[in-house]
Chain A
Amino acid sequence: MDNTARTINVLVIEDSEPDVYLIREALRLHVPNVAVEVVEDGEKAIRIIDEVDRDDQRPCPDILLLDLHLPRRSGEEALERFRRSPRCGQAPVLAMSSSESPKQRARAEELGASFFRKPSTLDEFLELGRIVRELVSCAPDEPGQT
């Protein structure tokens, strides 16, 4: 499959606007043909996945970026729903947090996700794009598209 030809759909659940901007910059810099869809909470994410599962024509997310510091438990509920989705349940998930603590890493592992600590320099932050590209390229293809 030609990765460059295909559109990479990225679903981002993030409520921090500055970070959303930086995530978009990083993806745009490193992932070709990327299509980013951002929601600010879990409920909205769940609605999208519902739509994806209902409508085969609706593009399916190739990766889910999830901020661990979402208010309430909406992030986790969204992840659970994402994992139950027949179309995108096998897609990689990247959990993001601004604090580097073993607790946060452990939680990400628990959710079956990779972990990204939001760094405090621009160059480091932009590395997020490269990580996403690697995760997507390693991931198995969506069953519907093979």
Chain B
Amino acid sequence: MEENNVDAPTCKPPETPVGSVDSLLRCAQWAGTPLGPRELWPQSLKTVFEILVSARQPMFAWWGEDLLQLHNDGCRAILGASYEAALGSSARAYWPARIPALEAALERVFGGEALTIPDVRLSMERNRRNEECCFDLRLTPIWDDQGRVGGALCVCDERPAQLGETRQLALAVGHVGVWDWDLRSGASVWSDEHFRALGLDPGACEPGYEAWASRIFCEDRVASEEGLRSAAADRRDYEHEYRVAWPDGALHWLYTRARFFHDAAAEPLRMIALTTDVTERKQAEERIASLNRDLKRRVTEFETLLEVAPVGIALANDPECRDITVNPAAAEMLGIPTVINASKSGPQGAELPFRVLREGREVSPEDLPMQQSATKGTVLRDLEYEVVQADGKVVNLIEYSAPLFEDGKVRGCLGVFVDITGRKAAERERMLLLERAQTARRTAELLNQAGLALASELDWEKLAQKITDIATQLTRAAYGAFFYDTIDAAGRTETLYTLSGTTRGAFEGFAIPRDTPLFHSTYAGQGIIRCGDVLADERYGKAPPHYGLPDGHLPVRSYLAAPVTLRSGETLGGLFFGHPEAGVFTEDDEALVAGLAAQAAVALDNARLFARVERGRQELRRVNDELRRANQDLEQFAYSASHDLQEPLRHISIYSELLRRKCEGRFDNEADELMKSVMDGARRMEMLVRDLLAYTQAVNVTGAMSEPVDAERVFQLALSNLREAIRENAAEVTHDPLPPVWAHEVHLVQLFQNLVGNAIKYRRDAEPPRVHARAERAGAEWIFSVRDNGIGIERQYRERIFGLFKRLHGGRKYAGTGIGLAICQKIVESYGGRIWVESEIGAGSTFFFTLPCPGERE
């Protein structure tokens, strides 16, 4: 059969389609079959053969008792794979197994009866799937040439499918409406669900095309009908969604799927349509569509945002972040095009033309924030990075990264970068300003401290050393020196120096810096010199013999020198600083040194002044000491002299008297006069000696004063001592209230007694003495005054009267030793007070003296 099949196309008539049953029938080697060669077939079988070949409807012919089978092309779907093998074979192997009623029916047909076996279910392959179809098998006897029944013709009439009960229930449960439409008869059967889908009660109308079409919403009707028509014509399945207006006015979406079944002649015989109410689905779809539109809009917005946002955004869609896409802003920050994979850990990561640094060190790809975030599944925030682009441009970024999750697993990562280069620059600028302000403040503070330290130092050499040390420390110089001129005791100018940061040994071998081009402006007081590299300065290396630094000099590249100029304008010397590295000294250092040099000048000036004052003070103290010693010697002498003189004077007086009494009557007048002179002289000498003693001991009162003395009381005491003189002269002594003062009582008594005594003694003859005492507060002291109406004192004597033994008048009229006022002066001055007199000749004098107020003393 196989070989024959292969050859078959060559023998088949050209009008028959290749591979059809017809060709098979015609080409079959019937001779090799139980039917024998076709020429020998009875005429009736030949006729049947021709019918078979021309008919499209499935037909079988079974011949002979063995039911040798012939079938046509229409049977191909029924027979399936056995289609060829069955040809010419006995049908008994195939059919009776499937159609139990067939044997009985055939027996009747072979008996000459034509009959139909209804509702035979046969599986058919249709549209590449098996489908159970229902057939009516119409059986007719085929008479042979001898008038006997030689075989049977079986015509298969397919019936519209009758749904099984289960299937119907299933469809009902699934709310699937069924429309079975017999196109030949025009009869339609609608399931209850179909009625309901159309918004009708089951059986509410006659089912059919018209009824269906009339239910369709007007806008959808044309398309629905047209679709059904064309599907029928094209032998396609019909699939359509349309709206149906329900009686309540609601529009329901229906989905109908229909299949047309055709006869062998391709005429549509039947249509089965399944209809589902898909309103809910449509609404859901509507919602989904709306959501989709929304989403799409958002996506569009988001995409626009990514495009235009100045924030860099990077997205990785793999958990290792090997593939990172970036938005334009991020690309710009990294200095790469947007289209390339920006992942450093990606396949081309090593070739990316940028480097990422954190705190100055390059970050390895796996430590980058997105990679870290994805690996650890954590959000990283506020990480600052420096991106160095291919051209060296540096961009400061602050980065945030967050892992993206899907089903609890990291599926990627989102990175956000903000360019903070400007902010960083501003921050640096601010820091710089802050630092500068701090430096300025620190400088001011240091200068202040230095000023204090310098101001408290008055020793020249120590001061110079301090200045050098402070300046060297503050300028961070490796070494500093201060060369300054002093004038020695012999008046010669000598240049001294102090060093800091090195030992004197380092300079021992060199001459003092001289007026070379480099040093000139400093020594001339022309301002500060600051060189980043002194070796490159044009003033350097011009002076013989070294033409530069002498061999063995400490290495100096950074150079700073400031003149120290006094207020007088005299430049005293210079502060010099050096460092072996270039560019060490800053503008701030320069300002600092300028300030320090000014401080140093003031301090040195002060030290000079102080030295001068100190010398004067010491001289003064020496002279003072000498004076005090001389004074003490003098007083000691005065005391001893007066004391030792008293003894013999006393004897002269007493023995003169004794002599006078013993020789009473034996002396003549002249002898009496002489004797009297001796006694007067002795008495006078005695007074002098006594007053001199009083003077030397005037302030010789020991013991501290525990409380002020009441001047009022003391004044009364003095008056009682003077009562003889007051009475004799009929003097009027008055006073204002007098205050308590810090003084020894004996002193105050002596003061008042001497002054009031003088006021009475030096009276004018014309009127009795009037004396008035008072005290007036003047700051921290009291000014006492004793005014009289006496003879007055001439201007030229107003100072002299306070001297020892200074008397203006002869002893005859005004007795006295000339010591009283000297004692007064000595007492007043011992309390730090003053004594003076104002006077008018012939009108009177006023003596003033001051004493400290109580509470003001100490």
Q: List residues of A whose CB falls within 8 A of some B CB.
A: 16, 18-19, 22, 98-99, 118-122, 125
Q: Which of A99, A118, A121 contacts B643 (CB 8 A)?
A: A99
12 A-B contacts (beta carbon < 8 Å): A16-B647, A18-B654, A22-B658, A98-B650, A119-B650, A120-B649, A120-B650, A121-B657, A122-B653, A122-B654, A122-B658, A122-B661
Contacting A at CB under 8 A, from B438-458, are none
Tell me the bound Cα distance from A125 to B654 in angstroms. Answer: 8
* Bound CA–CA A118/B653 (angstroms): 12
- Please report which residues of chain B, range 673-719, place their CB below 8 angstroms from some CB of chain A when the two chains form the complex: 683, 686
With a CB–CB cut-off of 8 A, which chain A residues contact B643?
Answer: 99
Distance in angstroms from B133 CB to nearest chain A CB is: 168
Of A18, A99, A118, A122, which one neighbours B657 at CB under 8 angstroms? A122
Q: Verify A121–B654 contact, CB threshold 8 A.
A: yes
A118: which B residues are within 8 A, CB to CB?
650
- B646 proximal to A (CB < 8 A): yes
From the candidates B654, B683, B686, name the one contacting A22 in the complex (CB within 8 A). Answer: B654
Give bound CA distance, A22 to B656, whole Å: 13
Mask, B627-669, CB within 8 Å of A = 1, is: 0000000000000000100110111011101100100000000
11 A-B pairs besides A22-B658, A120-B650 with CB distance below 8 A are A18-B654, A18-B655, A22-B654, A99-B643, A120-B649, A120-B686, A121-B653, A121-B657, A122-B654, A122-B657, A122-B661
Beta-carbon nearest neighbor of A125 in chain B: B654
* A120-B682 Cα distance, complex, nearest whole Å: 10
- Taken together as a complex, chains A and B put the C-alpha atoms of A111 and B835 apart, in Å, by 43
Residues of A with C-beta under 8 A to B653: 120-122
Q: Using Cβ atoms and an 8 Å threshold, which residues of chain A touch B646? A: 98-99, 120
Residues on A with beta carbons closer than 8 Å to the beta carbon of B657? 121-122
Which chain A residue shows the least CB distance to B661?
Answer: A122
Provide the residues of chain B in CB contact with A99, threshold 8 Å. Answer: 643, 646
Q: How far is the CA of A119 from the CA of B651 in the complex (A)?
A: 10
Complex Cα–Cα for A107 and B657 (A): 31
CB distance from A103 to the nearest CB of B (A): 11
* Residues of B with C-beta under 8 A to A122: 653-654, 657-658, 661
A41 to B657, CA, bound (A): 28
Chain B residues closer than 8 Å to A19, beta-carbon distance: 651
User: Which residues of the other chain, B, contact A22 by a CB distance below 8 angstroms?
Assistant: 654, 658
Which chain B residues border A18 with CB–CB below 8 Å? 651, 654-655
Using CB atoms, name the residue of chain B closest to A123. B657
How many angstroms between the C-alpha atoms of A137 and B234 in the bound complex?
187
Distance of A84 from chain B, by nearest CB (Å): 31
* Residues of the A chain whose Cβ atoms lie less than 8 Å from the Cβ of B683: 120
CA distance in complex: A125, B683 (Å): 15
Nearest residue, chain B, Cβ from A69: B647
Q: What are the 3 A-B residue pairs with the smallest beta carbon separation, nearest first?
A: A122-B657, A120-B650, A18-B651
Q: In the docked arrangement, what's the CA distance between A98 and B647, Å?
A: 7
**Interchain nearest-CB distance for A96 vs B (Å):** 12
Closest A residue, CB atoms, query B654:
A122
Q: Closest approach, in angstroms, between the C-beta of B242 and any C-beta of chain A? A: 151
Chain A residue contacts of B661, Cβ below 8 A: 122
- Determine the residue in chain B with the shortest Cβ distance to A118: B650
Give the docked Cα–Cα distance between A13 and B39 (Å). 215
Residue of B at shortest CB range from A101? B697
Q: Provide the residues of chain B in CB contact with A125, threshold 8 Å.
A: 654
Find the A residue at minimum CB distance from B657: A122
Q: B746 CB to closest chain A CB, in angstroms?
A: 10
Q: Which residues of B have CB within 8 Å of A98?
A: 646-647, 650
Residue of B nearest to A19 (CB): B651
Q: How far, in Å, is B4 (CB) from chain A's closest CB?
A: 181
CA distance A22 to B657 in the complex (A): 12
Taken together as a complex, chains A and B put the C-alpha atoms of A125 and B661 apart, in Å, by: 14
Name the CB-closest residue of A to B651: A18
List the B side residues contacting A16 at CB < 8 Å: 647
Hey, what's the 0/1 contact readout for B751-781 against A, CB within 8 Å counting as 1?
0000000000000000000000000000000
Report the nearest B residue to A122, measured CB to CB. B657
Closest A residue to B655 by CB, please name it.
Answer: A18
* A121 proximity list for chain B (CB < 8 A): 653-654, 657
Cα(A18)–Cα(B648), bound, Å: 9
CA distance A16 to B651 in the complex (A): 10
Chain A residue, CB-CB nearest to B648? A18
**Distance in Å from the Cβ of B132 to the closest Cβ of chain A?**
164
CB distance from B692 to the nearest CB of A (A): 13
Query: Nearest chain B CB to A53's CB is how many angstroms away?
Result: 34
Residue in A closest to B697 when the chains form the complex, CB atoms = A101
Q: A52 CA to B658 CA in the complex, in Å?
A: 35
Least Cβ–Cβ distance between A71 and chain B, in angstroms: 14
Q: How far is the CA of A34 from the CA of B643 in the complex (A)?
A: 33
* Closest Cβ–Cβ distance, residue B813 to chain A (whole Å): 25
Q: Interface 1/0s, chain B 153-179, versus A by CB < 8 A?
A: 000000000000000000000000000
Closest Cβ of chain B to A89, distance in Å, is 31
When chains A and B are docked, how far (Å) is the Cα of A22 from the Cα of B659? 12
Task: Write the chain B residue with the least CB distance to A18.
Answer: B651
Q: Compute how far the CA of A18 lies from the CA of B643 in the bound complex, rounded to whole angstroms.
A: 17
CB closest chain-B residue, reference A119: B650
Q: What residue in chain B is nearest A120 (Cβ atoms)?
A: B650
Taking CB as reference atom, which chain B residue is nearest A124? Answer: B654
Q: Closest CB-CB distance, B457 to chain A, in whole Å?
A: 52
**Residue from B650, B657, B686 with most neighbouring chain A CB atoms (10 Å):** B650
Q: How far is the CB of A67 from chain B (nearest CB, A)?
A: 11
Q: How many angstroms from the CA of A95 to the CA of B646 in the assembled complex?
A: 18
Nearest A residue to B653 via CB reads A120
Q: B659's closest neighbor in chain A, by CB?
A: A122
- CB contacts (< 8 Å) of B658 on chain A: these are 22, 122
Residues of A with C-beta under 8 A to B650: 98, 118-120
Chain A minimum-CB-distance residue to B682 = A120
CA distance A98 to B651 in the complex (A): 11
Alpha-carbon distance A55/B655, docked complex (angstroms): 39
**Shortest distance between the CB of A21 and any CB in chain B (Å):** 9
With the chains together, A119 CA to B653 CA distance in Å? 10
CB of A65, distance to nearest CB on chain B (Å): 17
The smallest C-beta distance from B690 to any residue of chain A, in angstroms, reads: 9
Expressed in whole angstroms, the Cα–Cα distance for A76 and B708 within the complex equals: 39
Q: How far is the CA of A99 from the CA of B694 in the complex (A)?
A: 12
> A22: nearest residue on chain B (CB-CB)?
B654
* Residues of the A chain whose Cβ atoms lie less than 8 Å from the Cβ of B655: 18
CA distance A125 to B658 in the complex (A): 11
B649, B654, B655, B661 — most chain A CB neighbours (10 Å): B654
